[in-house]
């Protein structure tokens, strides 16, 4: 009998595959089998990537496979292996750790029998809504395609993109195939799940962080065994090996939260496109404010572009009124209003209350104030673990939003021992307090990470707004995405400048996306006798290009403007970037390692003309120089060619023995965050 060897990706931080001999009693092992193997003194789970008849040359003893994982007998993950290999190579991550992500968090065990509230409500089935001409055109154009093709569905807020998705999933299921619907975690609202449940009932499964491990494992197997046909989830749902995949939809594709910032630093949108290519199925990227990467790919013809420029029912987009907070300050003071409450915003809220309409106030800062300061000496309270000012909450405790450090607020300045610390800036908590004083009769609800701790909290909050038990909704970006409240007529962007001036080339793109997404919550439904939606955009910089273009609700004009700046400096989407982050609890080690890395990069450039186009920026201290007591430095690589940049990085990282003990080096491909 010919001896065979299995090359296995094991769940361990190893760069390559490990080789094991296949004993005679396990001759049924094949590519894609899930096996148990010896690794040191323990058994480890792994996936067989290839089988050969040639023994590798090695000085070590080749151990034998232990067994096939009993839970996966008869199951093969072979269709996903090429995709897993691409993920590991592209994002410079150990292949075994990537492969382990396509297995559920727990063993099959018993099915979950008791839930406080089911993640999927039990609805009577609902017939599909008829499509309007724009929706019909988009549906037919996408449905006519065969095999892999990337579609960008660019539709203004309220244009009915979800109904197009539902029709396409219905077609997919009728063809005997399955579907995958991805949203950023923040947009996975009960409203969205309810809409799918009404249309597809028990055919849907969920995967996101608010589920228990047991719930995730149960849904995972229900998709694999065919009990469910549509998987709805956050980016991690990509790793469920859904069989017979016929359609992938990535909604709100512009959202930066599709990028995982820890461990495997993948971008859900890009990984979904590669999965669709491997599965030979269409993929739809949907957004009212597409990412620049997707927009350029669509305008260049790499993606198919479908426009939906009207709201369903020909409802008008809301009027956006710009308020200059510098000019409104005197009047606000005269009316005894807080500095952030213009007379216009105050009047519009009052009118809404009198007419039984709802209002939403958006501020992307939680807490009472962004920081505290001593007016006597200028001292500000900072986190002892991070290079971040502490945020005041509830007037009595200070919090770091990066490491969750807490301390009690003591008014006396600990630096000069004379002054009294005072709040500086505003947060959602202080906005809520002021609103309750100004409108004591109003029913106010705050939605942010402090108030919403889990799925049940979010469901309860949305239910209150839907039942019109809330007059004024106050929140962070949690209320900016995917929510549809028929009675919401007014949106106030309390301080639109937040996020404009961050040291990041994507700052403008993100600011405009957030303004337009939040504006899109207003006036989505309208009866004949009702007014159109109104958006009050308050800013200290009304002349800024970002504010002016956002106020016109013309995202294409802004894309054209900002992309010109990107092109000059070869920033994405015109160039490719890889960011190295070096961090350690030892400042000196972190700094020296960053210098060594930079030197390695420059030396490699000098040795080979093939890398002339690679730019090496740094080393520099990260904009947030310390988090959780680790000092952070960065080196950034830029090039026009992704292939050249990856070859360069692979050489730089091929030998990591030079990295000192206690120093971590992370490579972030296509970084979304340079802070």
For the domain spanning 4-102, the CATH number is 3.40.1440.60
Average pLDDT on 331-345 reads 94
Most confident of 255-259, 392-396, 411-415, 476-480: 255-259
Q: Are 218 and 108 in contact (CB under 8 A)?
A: no
CA–CA distance, 182 with 185 (Å, rounded to integer): 9
pTM: predicted TM-score of the whole model, two decimal places: 0.93
Alpha-carbon dihedral sign for residues 335, 339, 343, 349: negative
Question: Locate tokens 């403008």: which residue?
Answer: 508
pLDDT digits over 417-470, tens only? 888 888 877 889 999 999 999 999 999 999 988 888 877 888 889 899 999 999
CA–CA distance, 591 with 601 (Å, rounded to integer): 16
CATH class of 315-366+428-565: alpha beta
CA–CA distance, 400 with 406 (Å, rounded to integer): 7
**Which pLDDT score is estimated for 110?**
58
Tokens coding 35: 């096996």
Whether residue 112 is predicted with pLDDT greater than 60 in this model: the reply is: no
387 in helix, strand or coil? coil
pLDDT digits over 20-37, tens only? 999 999 999 999 999 999
Q: Are 1 and 26 in contact (CB under 8 A)?
A: no
Name 37's bridge partners: 44
Of 500-504, 599-603, 641-645, least confident by mean pLDDT is: 500-504
Domain boundaries, the chain: 4-102, 133-313, 315-366+428-565, 369-425, 576-669
Tokens coding 231: 């998987």
pLDDT digits over 258-290, tens only? 999 989 999 999 999 999 999 999 999 999 999
**Residue 338 dihedral angles phi and psi, to the nearest 5°:** -65, 155
Quick one: which H or E segment has residue 166? Answer: helix 161-174
**Which pLDDT score is estimated for 563?**
93
- The domain made up of 133-313 has a fold known as Rossmann fold (3.40.50)
Matching fold, domains 315-366+428-565 and 576-669: no
Q: How many CB atoms lie within 10 A of CB 453?
A: 10
For the domain spanning 576-669, the CATH number is 3.30.70.600
**Residue 70 dihedral angles phi and psi, to the nearest 5°:** -60, -25
pLDDT digits over 537-595, tens only? 999 989 888 888 888 888 999 999 999 989 998 899 999 999 999 999 999 999 999 99
CA–CA distance, 77 with 104 (Å, rounded to integer): 13
CA–CA distance, 665 with 663 (Å, rounded to integer): 7
CA–CA distance, 411 with 604 (Å, rounded to integer): 55
Exposed / middle / buried, residue 609 (Cβ in 10 Å: 0-12, 13-18, 19+)? exposed
**Which pLDDT score is estimated for 536?**
95
pLDDT digits over 64-76, tens only? 999 999 999 889 9
**Which pLDDT score is estimated for 1?**
63
**Which pLDDT score is estimated for 111?**
53
């Amino acid at each position: 009998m010919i001896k065979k060897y299995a090359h296995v990706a094991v769940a361990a931080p190893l760069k390559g595959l490990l080789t094991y001999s296949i004993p005679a009693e396990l001759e049924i092992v094949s590519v894609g089998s899930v096996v148990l193997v010896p690794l040191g003194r323990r058994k480890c789970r792994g996936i067989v990537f290839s089988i050969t008849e040639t023994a590798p040359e090695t000085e070590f003893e080749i151990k034998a496979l232990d067994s096939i994982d009993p839970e996966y007998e008869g199951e093969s993950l072979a269709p996903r292996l090429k995709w897993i290999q691409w993920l590991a190579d592209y994002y410079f991550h150990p292949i075994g750790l990537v492969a382990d992500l396509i297995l559920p968090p727990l063993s099959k065990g018993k099915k979950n029998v008791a839930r406080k509230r089911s993640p999927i409500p039990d609805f009577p089935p609902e017939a599909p809504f008829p499509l309007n001409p724009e929706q019909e055109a988009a549906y037919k154009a996408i449905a006519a395609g065969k095999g892999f093709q990337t579609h960008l569905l660019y539709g203004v807020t309220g244009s009915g993109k979800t109904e197009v998705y539902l029709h396409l999933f219905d077609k997919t299921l009728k063809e005997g195939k399955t579907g995958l619907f991805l949203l950023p975690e923040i947009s996975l609202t009960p409203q969205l799940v309810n809409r799918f449940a009404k249309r597809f009932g028990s055919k849907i499964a969920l995967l996101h962080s608010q589920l228990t491990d047991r719930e995730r494992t149960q849904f995972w197997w229900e998709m694999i065994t065919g009990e469910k046909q549509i998987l709805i989830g956050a980016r991690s749902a990509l790793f469920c090996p859904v069989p017979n995949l016929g359609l992938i939809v990535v909604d709100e594709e512009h959202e930066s939260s599709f990028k995982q910032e820890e461990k495997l630093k993948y971008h859900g949108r890009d990984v979904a496109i590669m999965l669709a290519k491997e599965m030979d199925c269409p993929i739809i990227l949907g957004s009212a404010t597409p990412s620049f990467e997707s927009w350029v790919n669509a305008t260049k013809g790499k993606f198919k572009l479908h426009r939906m420029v009207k709201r369903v029912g020909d409802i008008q987009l809301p009027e956006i009124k710009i308020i200059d907070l510098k000019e409104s300050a005197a009047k606000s003071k005269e009316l005894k209003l807080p500095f952030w409450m213009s007379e216009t915003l105050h009047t519009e809220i009052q009118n809404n209350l009198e007419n039984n309409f709802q209002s939403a106030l958006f501020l992307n800062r939680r807490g009472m104030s962004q920081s505290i300061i001593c007016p006597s000496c200028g001292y500000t309270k900072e986190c002892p673990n991070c290079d971040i000012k502490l945020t005041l909450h509830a007037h009595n405790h200070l919090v770091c939003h990066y490491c969750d450090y807490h301390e009690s607020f003591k008014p006396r300045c600990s630096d000069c021992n004379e002054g009294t610390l005072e709040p500086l800036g505003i947060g959602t908590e202080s906005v809520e307090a002021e609103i309750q004083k100004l409108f004591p009769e109003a029913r106010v609800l705050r939605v942010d990470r402090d108030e919403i701790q889990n799925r049940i909290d979010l469901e309860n909050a949305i239910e209150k707004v839907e039942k019109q038990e809330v007059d004024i909704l106050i929140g962070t970006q949690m209320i900016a995405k995917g929510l549809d409240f028929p009675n919401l007529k007014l949106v106030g962007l309390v301080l639109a400048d937040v996020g404009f001036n961050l040291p990041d080339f994507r700052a403008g793109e993100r600011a405009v996306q957030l303004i337009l997404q939040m504006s899109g919550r207003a006036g989505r439904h309208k009866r004949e006798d009702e007014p159109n939606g109104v958006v009050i955009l308050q800013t200290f910089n009304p002349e800024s290009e970002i504010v002016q273009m956002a106020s016109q609700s013309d995202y294409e004009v802004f894309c054209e403007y900002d992309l010109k700046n990107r092109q000059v400096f070869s920033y994405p989407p015109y160039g490719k970037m890889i960011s190295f982050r070096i961090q350690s609890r030892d400042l000196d080690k972190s700094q020296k390692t960053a210098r060594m890395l930079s030197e390695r990069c420059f030396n490699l450039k000098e040795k080979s003309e093939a890398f002339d186009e690679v730019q090496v920026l740094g080393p520099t201290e990260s904009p947030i120089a310390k988090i959780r007591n680790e000092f952070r430095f960065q080196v950034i690589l830029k090039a026009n060619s992704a292939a050249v940049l990856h070859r360069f990085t692979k050489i730089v990282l091929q030998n990591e023995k030079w990295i000192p003990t206690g120093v971590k080096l992370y490579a972030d491909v296509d970084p979304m965050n340079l802070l």
